[in-house]
Structure 1
Amino acid sequence: MMKNSLITIAFLAVSVSAAAQAGDTFSTLDTDNNGSISLAESKVLPALMAKFKELDTDGNGELSAQEFASFKSE
């Protein structure tokens, strides 16, 4: 049972990563659908994670759609 759970988690992580790289859209990265991208959610795109603090202009620890748009326009 534990092995199946780990396989499922690994598969989902790869799927999310592939989807993010394919589309890198805000909604794809916002996996919990709360309207923002957390640092944890940004980890699927290393380039986004590297610029996270710079993009988080209001310093709330999350990227809004507007803050993410700055990343997309680079």
Structure 2
Amino acid sequence: MKNKWILIACAGTLFSSIALAEDMGGEQPTFANLDTDRNGTLSVEEAAANQQLAQEWRNLDTNSDGLLEEAEFSRFKMMEESE
């Protein structure tokens, strides 16, 4: 009987995780969501939360200061929308 409840709990956790992952998959990252320290710029570490943004980092950091300002991030958003 105890194993049955453990199995039910695990199944519930699995299905809720899948549902959450599907919900998050469609959500586009925003500058505000990625700027976790709320300093007005994105660091490499913050950008790593979005794989595509991390891959485009060098192209987007036009002033090569190691940070993305909101204007630089807007180029990423335009690239995403054109795909």
TM-score by length of 1: 0.70
Matched, 1:39 2:44: yes
Match of 1:25 in 2: 30
Long gaps (5+) in structure 2: 1-22
Percent of pairs with identical residues: 36
Q: CA deviation at 1:53?
A: 1.1
- Asked which structure has the greater CA Rg, the reply is 2
**CA–CA separation in structure 2 for the residues paired with 1:36 and 1:57:** 13
Task: Report which structure shows greater RCO (CA 8 Å, sep ≥6).
Answer: 1
The answer on 1:56 being equivalent to 2:56 is no
Please, what is the CA RMSD of the aligned residues?
2.2
The count of corresponding residues between Structure 1 and Structure 2 is 58
Which protein has the bigger strand share? 1
Normalised to the residue count of structure 2, the TM-score between the two structures is 0.63
Which amino acid counterpart does residue 31 of structure 1 have in structure 2?
T
